[in-house]
Amino acid sequence: MDRRDGISAQARAQGIIPDLSGKRSSNVKVSVAGLSKSYMKGSRGERFEALRNVNLDVYSGEFLSIIGPSGSGKTTLLKCIDGIANYQAGTVTVTRDPSATSLRDRAFVFQDFGLLPWRTILANVALPLELLGMHRKEREERAMSYLRLVGLEKTAKDHPHELSGGMRQRVGLARALAVDPDVLLMDEPLGALDEQTREVMQAEILRICGTGRTVIFVTHSVDEAIFVSDRVVVMSNSPGHIKAIFTVDIPKPRTQLATRAHPRFSELREAIWAELGVTTTLNPHA
């Protein structure tokens, strides 16, 4: 299976990505159609086109990574999907499974963790439940079970500043999972961590959300994107648009060493870098 999805140069330039997996389209979880966003930037008030006509379908249970240079709008796209950023044109549709147990359809994991420093770890994880009006006892029990899932039940009474970066992001992950979201949105969640912790956390994320949960994962790292994903979306800048989509046909479950040793890993790595490389030569300052 050769997995550079066949997108014509013209279609790519227009940002139109054809849906190649017709058989899965009944299972579309998140549908982004014709999304465009621009905003005033800098003191001179120049219009910055963050996203132009982005179309993307994310399938149910899929782990999708978005990768691209700075300014390609990958974080902006994620925030538009979450609804914390607004946009001028287009639609974002999240299809909820009618039988779903989720309390919210979307939950976000922040790059800088976004923990409230005055709250205990448990109260941080319970925040989304508290905002939903869940009673204290119920929400604390539920938060505790998700803390247990990320292996941090012993830190429940601590405060965020007492934890290491990797532990803090586990809390961020537990908080997002506490609402059992239909779609988990992660914005460079491991960007602030050191290399070793990062690799440990990649495996952790796969263990916790790699099965059955729909995840959209923004990252700077090509290796990370391939390791965790079913598909990798490559974005490009000025204006931000989708350039290519790769399917990672490496069987799951995956482990760091075995995945990196897989022949497809280096092929995909090369192909994705090639897509990114074109961008860097065109925009040396990007």
Contact between 191 and another protein per CB under 8 A: no
Give CA–CA dist 103/129, Å, rounded. 8
Query: Does 257 interact with another protein (rule: CB under 8 A)?
Result: yes
Q: Report the run of H or E that residue 205 belongs to, with start and end.
A: helix 195-209
Binder of another protein out of 38, 256, 264, 269 (CB under 8 A) = 256
Q: Indicate the pairing of strand 214-219 with strand 63-67.
A: parallel
Taking 3-state DSSP, the helix, strand and coil percentages for the chain, each rounded to the nearest 5, stand at: 40, 25, 35
Residues 119-138 within binding reach of another protein (CB under 8 A): 120, 127-128, 130-132
According to the binding rule CB under 8 A, does residue 164 interact with another protein?
yes
- Four-residue CA torsion sign, 86, 87, 89, 91: negative
Residue 278 in the binding site for another protein (CB under 8 A): no
Q: Which is nearer to another protein, 59 or 110 (CB)?
A: 110
The binder of another protein chosen from 23, 44, 47, 161 (CB under 8 A): 161
The stretch near another protein (CB under 8 A) out of 11-19, 59-67, 156-164, 269-277 is 156-164
* 266 lines the binding site for another protein (CB under 8 A): no
Measured between alpha carbons, how far is 24 from 51 in angstroms, rounded to an integer? 26
136-149 helix and 165-177 helix, angle to the nearest 10 degrees:
130
Residues 16 to 75 in contact with another protein, rule: CB under 8 A: none
CB of 9 to another protein, least distance (A): 36
52, 13 Cβ separation under 8 angstroms: no
Query: Distance between CA atoms of 129 and 165, rounded to whole angstroms?
Result: 24
User: Please, are residues 161 and 81 in contact by the beta-carbon 8 Å criterion?
Assistant: no
Q: Is 267 in the site for another protein (CB under 8 A)?
A: no
Site map (CB under 8 A) of another protein, residues 93-112, x = contact: -----------x-xxx-x-x
Can you give the binding site for another protein, defined by CB under 8 A? 82-84, 104, 106-108, 110, 112, 114, 116-118, 120, 127-128, 130-132, 151, 154-155, 158-159, 161-164, 166-167, 179, 196-197, 199-200, 203-204, 207, 253, 255-258
